[in-house]
């Protein structure tokens, strides 16, 4: 099996059909990365956009980081673009929690919901509640906060991904965090 760099050289040298091999190697990574940041219904589309962007920028890949890291950064940038697009036609997500979701919050609050043995339904509910909460944050603040607090990325890298200054990234993450905590308080009471 060819190494990534070898494969990339072949693709940029004209063997573009080899890109399919690269896609198969990294499809799971891209889908998982994107799934963390955007609604389920947009995951496939953004994963496709990630690979298209990667193909177009492949000549710029110098191998300074691993291909996986390089590709992850592209995927995260596409997610940022997605939320920037949403900001323009943003609809405030006012949906309140269903009975099942409230139950999950109740259990999460007592430390019971994530005891390591959650079934698929509960995991699904957890993601639904998380999406509802994050959906109430302004997209740029949501993305900044997720990259720093959930993804544990260094501020500098998060700023590079979002294409903004470190200061702006910090401001956005801080505002997002503040709103997120307020939302946590609200759902904590609701649950």
Partner 1 sequence: MKERERRIHEAFKNAYAGAECEPLAGWEKKVLEEIEADSDRTFFAELGEALTWRFTLAPSLAAVATLLYLLTLPDMTSSLLGATAQVSVLLLVN
| Residue 34 contacts partner 1 per CB under 8 A | yes
Cα(81)–Cα(79) distance, rounded to whole angstroms? 5
- The only residue of 35, 155, 164, 168 in contact with partner 1, by rule CB under 8 A: 35
> Any idea how long the chain is?
191
Least distance to partner 1 from the beta carbon of 41, Å?
11
Phi, psi angle pair for 151, to nearest 5°: -85, -15
Which residue from 81, 74, 31, 38 is spatially nearest to 56, judged by alpha carbons?
A: 74
Our CB check for partner 1 shows the closer of 33 and 140 to be 33
Least distance to partner 1 from the beta carbon of 62, Å?
21
| Residue 25 contacts partner 1 per CB under 8 A | no
- The only residue of 2, 6, 15, 20 in contact with partner 1, by rule CB under 8 A: 20
| Residue 164 contacts partner 1 per CB under 8 A | no
**179 is written with which tokens?**
């709103």
Report the alpha-carbon angle 11-16-21, nearest 5.
80
Q: What single DSSP character describes residue 149?
A: I
Radius of gyration of the chain (CA): 19
Cα(27)–Cα(11) distance, rounded to whole angstroms? 17
Of residues 88-117, which lie at the interface with partner 1 (CB under 8 A)? 105, 108-111, 113-114
| Residue 28 contacts partner 1 per CB under 8 A | yes
Q: What single DSSP character describes residue 164?
A: S
| Residue 59 contacts partner 1 per CB under 8 A | no
Our CB check for partner 1 shows the closer of 44 and 165 to be 44
Would you say 81 and 46 are in contact if contact means Cβ atoms under 8 Å apart?
Answer: no
Interface residues with partner 1 (CB under 8 A)?
A: 16, 19-20, 23-24, 27-28, 31-32, 34-36, 40, 43-44, 47-48, 51-52, 55-56, 105, 108-111, 113-114, 123, 126-127, 129-130, 133, 146, 150, 181, 184-185, 187-188, 191
């Amino acid at each position: 099996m060819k190494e990534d760099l070898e494969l990339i050289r072949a693709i940029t040298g004209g063997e573009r059909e080899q890109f399919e091999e690269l896609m198969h190697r990294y499809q799971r990574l891209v889908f998982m990365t994107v799934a963390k940041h955007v609604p389920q219904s947009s995951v496939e589309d953004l994963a496709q956009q990630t690979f298209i962007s990667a193909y177009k920028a492949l000549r710029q890949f110098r191998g300074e980081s691993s291909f996986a890291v390089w590709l992850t950064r592209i995927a995260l940038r596409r997610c940022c673009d997605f939320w920037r697009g949403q900001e323009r036609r943003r609809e405030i997500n006012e949906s309140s929690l269903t009975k099942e979701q409230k139950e999950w919050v109740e259990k999460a609050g007592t430390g019971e919901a994530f005891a390591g043995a959650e079934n698929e339904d509960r995991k699904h509910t957890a993601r639904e509640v998380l999406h509802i909460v994050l959906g109430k944050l302004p997209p740029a603040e949501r993305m900044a906060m997720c990259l720093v607090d959930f993804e544990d990325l260094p501020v500098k890298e998060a700023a590079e991904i979002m294409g903004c200054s470190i200061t702006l990234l910090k401001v956005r993450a801080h505002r997002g965090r503040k709103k997120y905590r307020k939302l946590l308080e609200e759902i904590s009471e609701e649950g």
